[in-house]
Amino acid sequence: MSNEAIHDELGRVRVGLRFSGGKEVHFKIIGMHCATCSLTVQRALMSVDGVLSASVSMASDEAVVIVDLTRFEYSKALRAVQRAGYDIYRESVTLTLRSLEPEEANTVTRALCIPGVFNVVVNPVNHSVMITYNPLETSDNELRAIIESAGFRVINVAKADAGDFDVDRKAVETDLRDIRNRLIVAAPLTALIFALEALSIARLIPDALYAVLSFALATPVQFYSGMRFVRGAVRAFRNATANMDTLVALGTLSAYIFSVLVLLHVLSGEVFFDSSAAIITFILIGRYLETRLKLKVSSTMRELTRLYPRNARVIMNGVETEVPINEVRAGDLVVVKEGEVIPVDGYVDSGEGYVDESVMTGEPSPRRKGVNDLVLAGTILTRGYLRIRTTRSGEYAFIAQLIRQARQAQSLRIPIQSLVDKVASYLTWFVMGTGAATFIAWYLIGAPIYVAVLHMASVLVIACPCALGLATPISVVAGTNNALKHGILIRESRAIEISPRIKAIALDKTGTLTRGRFGVISVVGDGKALYYAAIAEKGSDHPIARAIIEKAKEVYEEIPSADSYDTIPGMGIVAQWNGLTIGVGNDRLVKGFEARASPEIEKEVRKYVSDGYTAVYVIMNNEVLGAVILGDSIRPEAPMVINELRRMGITPIMVTGDNAETANMVARKLGIDYVYAGLMPYDKANIIKELSTKFGVVAMVGDGINDAVALKTADIGIAMGAGTDIAKSAGDVVLLSNDLTSILSFIKLSRRILNNIKFNILYAFMYNAVLIPIAAGAVPSLTIRPEWAGLAMALSSITVTLNALRLRRSRV
């Protein structure tokens, strides 16, 4: 065979690899722009455990991955791609369930452990399940079907961009209506049973008649009002678990069925239909109160959703036209009148007014907004009139992102919760075993069978895994809502749990410890120098000019415009006004005017310049009037925050990319002993690692792109609200108010959340440890009837919820 024929034959050969048990998975990759990118993503995917092979195409932005499903985790693949600097396209959906007990969270998570799901966050407080998934493998309809096949009823499906942010409230209100309807039936019928019992005890009606009438009244209570517990028990049984509904259903049905058998003379003893009806009624009352309290827990979240804009008034062809918010595009001119909610993110094109940003930042005083100032959707124009040039609207607006992240924050699961959930699931089986053992023990010692049933029902009903399961999530929801009210968005659960253990806190300088922009620090020489400098600079858009004009407006009512002005590159500006020649610039401009500053002015200027500040001379008719000193001023609250951190036992440290001279000057003023200057982004991350080795738990506070890596490296990353989107996405905590005192608020509030959780868990354990033996009759001369056991169970959940509600009023 010729070489050409061999070559043709080899060209038709296809070599493939077959993996037994392997599954082909497709991902859409975001951010690739060259062949090197595709190779980087491929290497990142190959580093994930369970990935057998990976092929990435830049042309289609797609990765084809062969995985071993027994070892592969979608969340790890996502993190690997993100660490490499890229992302995987994914979608999110929130399923709202008719009912969801805390101890059922693991059941939902296990059911959704399917190919294509990156993350599942279950929130039993508002009955929601947030799922992040790969749309190339699964869909929201399939996810809904999986949940419903597990026995849960889905009442709402909301995609991440649907705009219906208030489904949490609707879910709780739906549950509240269901409980109320069942309670309307149960309460009067149970009251009648107790009235008949009193008549029977007084011998006003025969016992037989009481037994028949109480059966008739208790039956609708058991099989209508109590059906939500029976359904919950059946759902748990189908998923091979047990929960509070299981205990209530077993307790009430055992009392009811035993009483029916006594009524039919199959067994001897007393009927206690009153117990089964009262248990259901008391627990429904408890659930009703508990659910009402849950509505209060998320009050801050609902304040945000009420401010989410639905429409905007857009200027089209010179006419104001009201359109749905999703139809507003970048560049559109939107009109906002006094008292209205601003519907879009953008910059003021014309007009001025005062904007209330308190709901998002926690700052009570309205801020003045004028031309070129940034305004955000969801804030309120309390006074004035604005025309806003739109930059973002609808689902992309800041308030929409904030609501989404706040909802995710409410569903945070701190590590301790996994342990508590496991204990709560075991507790249910332990209680059922204890109930069975109680019945057998009383029966074996010769007690009447109805006594054995009575004690067994009390044991089953009095135990409350619900309070234990609710202990952590209800405190997290209340605490994160309070944090949001104070302008703090907690995005990661670990931040709450480890913040009390912070030993050192690294702070960026520019934009964090300082304002991050030029400001007037002082005026040297003639006090009118600032006024004349503002006149000359009024026509300029230079950062120094803006700082001078802003300061001058605080001092003088009106700044006149110069008659003419000329900019001299590298030197400054020369203006004519009312026959006067005004020069504003550096020492080269002074020399150009052949002017000289007095020794006093020169001495003061040199002192400021040596501290890293910028001096701008003001020259009037060839005479140096004075100088305006500018610099990146330290935030006014920074000294107090640094001192308070030190008092709390936390070491403040400065990490900055700025030069050592300027960094040390700021550090001296703030009393910071540890300074790391001249750092590149990855240098900052390495410093954070060193600090972790030296101090222990380290937090990082920053605002810029160059802080993002360090924020991720730190045990807790805290991003300033006015920082870049990259920094905010890297932060575990975002300070929306851009106020450093929020750092102290976050640490204090985290401690209170943890203390609240610990109290709830301790209370739930003590409650069960003390009352289960009493209900079983193990304490001589002390016992609890099933109906009072049901009341105690209801009160235990209410107590946990009320304790969590204290976090709403907690001042930080």
Spatial contact of 318 and 377, defined as CB atoms under 8 Å apart:
no
178 is catalytic: no
Is residue 784 a contact partner of residue 774, using CB atoms and an 8 Å limit? Answer: yes
The helix or strand, by DSSP H or E, that contains position 430, with its residue range, turns out to be helix 415-444
**Percentage of the chain exceeding pLDDT 70:** 88
Q: Are 221 and 186 within 8 A, CB to CB?
A: yes
Contact criterion met (CB below 8 Å) for 499 and 699: yes
Q: pLDDT per residue over 594-628, tens digit each? A: 888 888 888 888 888 877 778 889 998 778 888 99
Query: Which residues, listed in sequence order, are joined to residue 630 by a DSSP beta bridge?
Result: 520, 614
Lowest-confidence range among 331-345, 421-435, 439-453, 749-763? 421-435
Strand pairing category for 697-702 and 674-676: unpaired
pLDDT surpassing 50 at residue 13: no
Residue written as token pair 């305004």: 375
Sort 105 into a burial class: Cβ within 10 Å, 0-12 / 13-18 / 19+: buried
Q: Which among 158-162, 300-304, 524-528 has the top mean pLDDT?
A: 524-528
User: Which is it for strands 51-57 and 62-68: parallel, antiparallel or unpaired?
Assistant: antiparallel
Work out the pLDDT band at 705, boundaries 50, 70, 90: low
Give me 729's structure tokens.
Answer: 């996405």
Instruction: Say if residues 729 and 542 touch (Cβ distance below 8 Å).
Output: no
Contact between 254 and 434 (Cβ < 8 Å): no
pTM (two decimals): 0.69
d(CA 407, CA 732): 15
Which 3 state secondary structure label does DSSP give 29? strand
Task: Report which of residues 640 and 572 the model is more confident about.
Answer: 640
Q: What is the pLDDT of residue 166?
A: 55
- The confidence score (pLDDT) of residue 411 equals 61
140, 508, 703, 739: which one is catalytic? 508
Give residues with Cβ within 8 angstroms of 8, minimum separation 6.
none
CA distance 434 to 460: 8
Bridge-based pairing state of the strands 311-316 and 319-324: antiparallel
Q: Which helix (H) or strand (E) holds 247?
A: helix 244-263
- What's the rounded Cα separation, in Å, for the pair 751 and 738? 21
Per-residue pLDDT at 210 exceeds 50: yes
Which tokens in the block code for residue 516? 């991050």
Nearest to 460 by CA among 480, 478, 438: 438
pLDDT of residue 362: 56
How much is the average pLDDT of 151-175?
68
